[in-house]
Amino acid sequence: MSVIYLLISISILVAIGFFIAFIRAVKTGQYDDDYTPSVRMLFDDEIIQSKVEKSKVENSTTL
């Protein structure tokens, strides 16, 4: 039974360590994305084109 308590306490310490590392990474800006917003306007809007194509297919099948 003491082994279970030992393993639980070690796993809690490891989890706390990972949580602290995550909080530190977020605070230092590691997850900030500075590149994508400037390039996003260069991407084509394929979602809108696919909706138009679907409506054309639906119109041709209903005729």
Residues 6+ positions from 25 with CB-CB distance below 8 Å: 31
Q: What is the mean pLDDT of the chain?
A: 82
Percent of the chain clearing pLDDT 90 (strictly above):
44
Q: What is the pLDDT of residues 36-47, one digit of tens each?
A: 777 777 776 665
Q: Return the pLDDT at 47.
A: 59
- pTM of this structure: 0.53
Amino acid at 11: S
Q: Is the pLDDT of residue 50 over 60?
A: no
Are 37 and 31 a contacting pair, CB within 8 Å? no
Q: Return the pLDDT at 35.
A: 78
Q: Is the pLDDT of residue 63 over 60?
A: no
